Amino acid sequence: MTAASLDLASLLCSRLCHDLLSPVGAMSNGLELLAEEKDPEMRKRCMELLEQSARTSADKLKFFRLAFGAAGGFGENVPVEEPRALVDALVANNGRITVNWALGAAMLPKNAVKVLLNLALIGIEALVRGGTLDIGAEQREGASEIVVRAAGAKIAFDPLVGQALDGTLAVADLSSRTAPAAMIQKLAVEAGGGLQFALSEEALVMGAVLPEVR
């Protein structure tokens, strides 16, 4: 493993820890309140918050396991229902985002699923005021084609993430925020494909083509 690969892996770990800090911290605070609270109604409310935080933590761990990790338990191809369930669970805690799916294949290569999940994550983060997230994927002519469109009242898109997607990001600008985009750009290029994106005031559209590795 090269130094650059180690740095990327470290930043992905940092991103995972950052995203889990909030729900895990909420569980810790909830347990402290539960230990001190005597009122039955308040204890019931504490338990509800603990259950919500535990569910959010589990959903994020499952998502990042497949989006960033080796995802043991799957072969070279993954049923499309798996990434769909992971994205839907991630969005379930945000009532302002609606997800629409157009999946033209029953299975996708594992690397294509990683790209789909990470593009979906970028799209979710862009919808700071809510909106719609349209996700499509199919296999055609020996390649996986993926498109993710985030449309809403306000699109928040870090230009450095865009540079990571198109492969022009300087090493000095690599961070836990840009690492997921840098990872999938590397995956796409190594497969002989590529990523692209288009940004307007109304929407962020991202696409990927990943030829099958033989």
Contact 116, 105 (CB under 8 A): no
The string of pLDDT tens digits covering residues 51-101 is 888 888 888 889 988 998 866 556 788 999 999 999 999 998 777 999 999
Q: How far apart are CA 27 and CA 104, in angstroms?
A: 39
Q: How far apart are CA 61 and CA 162, in angstroms?
A: 25
Instruction: Work out the average pLDDT over 23-42.
Output: 76
Q: How many CA atoms lie within 13 A of 196 on its CB side?
A: 6
1.20.120.80, 3.90.950.20, 3.30.565.10, 3.40.50.300: CATH of 3-211:
3.30.565.10
The string of pLDDT tens digits covering residues 161-210 is 999 999 999 988 899 999 999 999 999 999 999 999 999 989 999 999 99
Residue 205, helix vs strand vs coil: strand
The pLDDT of residue 119 is: 98
Region label for 83, one of left (φ > 0), alpha (ψ between -120 and 50) or beta (otherwise)? alpha
Question: Measuring CA to CA, which residue among 128, 132, 114, 134 is closest to residue 181?
Answer: 114
Q: How many CA atoms lie within 13 A of 99 on its CB side?
A: 23
CB proximity list for 110: less than 8 A, separation 6 or greater: 71, 74, 75, 76, 77, 78
Contact 110, 100 (CB under 8 A): no
Residues in the chain: 214
pTM: 0.88
